[in-house]
Amino acid sequence: MAEQLERRTERAPARFGGLDYAPAPEATDHVQLRADHGLLIGGRWVEPASERRFKTISPATEEVLAEVAEAGEEDVDAAVKAARAAYTKVWSRMSGAERAKYLYRIARILQERAREFAVLETMNGGKPIKESRDVDVPLAAAHFFYHAGWADKLDYAFPGRRPAPLGVAAQVIPWNFPLLMAAWKLAPALAAGNTVVLKPAETTPLTALRLGEVIQEAELPEGVVNILTGAGATGAALVGHPGVDKVAFTGSTEVGKAIQRTLAGSGRKLTLELGGKAANIVFEDAPLDQAVEGIVNGIYFNQGHVCCAGSRLLVQESIAEPLVDKLKRRMATLRVGDPLDKNTDVGAINSRAQLDKITELVASGEADGAQAWQAPCELPARGFWFRPTVFTHVAQSYRIAQEEIFGPVLSVLTFRTPDEAVEKANNTPYGLSAGVWTDKGSRILDLASRMQAGVVWANTFNRFDPTSPFGGYKESGFGREGGRHGLAAYLDLS
């Protein structure tokens, strides 16, 4: 395994499953990279009072793309005050129909600039261009369109209640869907009449900053959206600021718990969307080829940097062998490498820290006695990469069956009866998502009702839609995002 993990230097054309592919790189000349970025506070780009900056890189090449500001406490204070002023003077007084116009504008500009956003997302985050192009950017626009539609219909969304905005929302987001998470958080907050201070993740600030430009282009009143770049200390200063009325966080369970402690007793509203360890459950009557596609999409999509990734495969014992064989054959055809190449299926790991975490957990799986198999593929010389990996002979107690790996690593377990499948699926500290593959509708309904998971997909996986509430049980957090449920999290309904 140590040898298998060794980085190779050879580049394309690579051979995948016996086929040669010529490189098909997406053009990048339409994306103007700015050398440095300020903070968006009160409608203007300003230099950080902290006078600190940090570099942001491409995880596929380790090249520096830009420098961004690191917001300190003074910057956080200025941003929260700007958001408060915008809230009291403008945004909370504006009619819902007026607010909707701004959201529609943002959605349309995102569509017009879709290519630029997709390329920038892929450069800064390492995800394959076909995902940022076909999933992240269209869904980000869809979230603005969807919530624009609610802005003037809040009384209809919550009949008999008097929905009122909460005030200033602090939103801290992760690096796995940088633009989509920003849209996912901003759209409902703004539709409901709140103003926002948003903090993107330190490894992927560039699309959130560019969204700041879109927000200016859409002529949102100054201070309605403020964007602060920085790392954990900036996030902690923001969520702990007394001028904040609502906190929304997506990220690690560890930080989620720390934020919960900070806010305890403050009366401020909090939603947390944390990690996951989803089970993808395949019964013997499932269409196996379709299931294999679902399993691959479930765990190798976005390099497994997905909180709801199907990171455990629970397969009925009678079909375990043929299913795992099919899966390995399919994995051998996955194209790993340059995320800007339109043929790439699996891109770069987002950061060296994340690669180290994946490598450490995979080593623990081997030490525990599980058997690893890796897709045979060449890895680029520079950047952060991990081969798609599948573990068999996995016991429920192993760390690879309990902990979130957040990488392209699947753990296979088996079961005999539906009861055993439910018990094993629920046997982790998490409860974000699950998948069921079977021909029987009654079995889908039965399992869905017994699984402790906020989302249960049936005969599909990793499907997202702004109309559908998303969120977890147990250590996966609380509160829902998307749909009417997500809107409610930004409103006072008393």
Site track 307-346 with ligand NAI (rule: CB under 6 A), x = hit: x---------------------------------------
Any contact of residue 361 with ligand NAI (CB under 6 A)?
no
Token couple for 94:
């504006």
In this complex, which beta carbon is closest to ligand NAI, that of residue 405 or of residue 413? 405
Cα–chain center distance at 141? 15
What part of residues 167-226 is at the interface with ligand NAI (CB under 6 A)? 172-174, 176, 199, 201-202
Residue 55: φ, ψ to 5°: -90, 145
Separation of alpha carbons 232 and 202, rounded Å: 8
Q: Which is nearer to ligand NAI, 438 or 462 (CB)?
A: 462
Spatial separation of the C-alpha atoms in residues 71 and 63, rounded to whole Å: 23
Give CA torsion, residues 215, 220, 224, 225, to 10 deg: 0
Which of 46, 157, 231, 458 binds ligand NAI (CB under 6 A)? It is: 231
Residue range at the interface with ligand NAI (CB under 6 A); choices 231-239, 324-332, 336-344, 441-449 = 231-239
Find all residues with CB under 8 Å of 356, minimum gap 6, and list them: none
Q: Does 404 bind ligand NAI (CB under 6 A)?
A: yes
When asked if residue 235 is in the footprint of ligand NAI (CB under 6 A), the reply is yes
Under 8 Å between Cβ of 171 and 248: yes
Compute the distance between CA of residue 312 and CA of residue 391 in angstroms, rounded to an integer. Answer: 10
User: CA 447, CA 456: separation in Å to the nearest integer?
Assistant: 9
* Chosen residue from 125, 205, 223, 275 binding ligand NAI by CB under 6 A: 275
Short-list 210, 418, 406, 224, CA closest to 314: 418
| C-alpha distance from residue 184 to each of 144, 233, 277, 298, 482 (Å) | 8, 23, 22, 21, 7
Contact between 203 and 162 (Cβ < 8 Å): no
Q: Which of 121, 136, 273, 338 forms a contact with ligand NAI (CB under 6 A)?
A: 273
Which residues, in sequence order, are bridge partners of residue 44?
41
Q: Does residue 274 belong to the site contacting ligand NAI (CB under 6 A)?
A: yes
Smallest separation (angstroms) from ligand NAI to the CB of 274: 5
- Residue 10 or residue 360: which is nearer to ligand NAI going by CB? 360
* Contact window for ligand NAI (CB under 6 A) among 48-56, 63-71, 269-277, 332-340: 269-277
**C-alpha–C-alpha distance, residues 320 and 303, integer Å:** 24
Q: Does 86 help bind ligand NAI (rule: CB under 6 A)?
A: no
Shortest Cβ 40–ligand NAI spacing (Å): 16
Q: 229 phi and psi, to 5 degrees?
A: -90, 155
- Binding to ligand NAI by residue 357, rule CB under 6 A? yes
Candidates 307, 378, 404, 481; catalytic one: 307
- Give the pairing type, strands 195-199 and 371-374: unpaired
273 annotated active-site: yes
Whether the CB-CB separation of 479 and 272 falls below 8 Å is answered with yes
Nearer to ligand NAI, 39 or 239 (CB): 239
Residues in contact with ligand NAI, counted by CB under 6 A, come to a total of 26
251 binds ligand NAI (CB under 6 A): yes
Please confirm, yes or no, whether 307 is among the known catalytic residues.
Answer: yes
Q: Cβ 172 to ligand NAI, closest distance in Å?
A: 5
| CA atoms of 239 and 249, how far apart (whole Å) | 9
Residue 464 binds ligand NAI (CB under 6 A): no
Catalytic residue among 121, 202, 273, 475: 273
- If residue 480 lies in a helix (H) or strand (E), which one and from where to where? none
Of the ranges 22-30, 207-215, 248-256, 286-294, which one interacts with ligand NAI (CB under 6 A)?
248-256
Amino acid at 65: L
Residues taking part in catalysis: 273, 307
Which spans of this chain sit near ligand NAI (rule: CB under 6 A)?
A: 172-174, 176, 199, 201-202, 231-232, 235-236, 239, 250-252, 255, 258-259, 273-275, 307, 354, 357, 404, 406
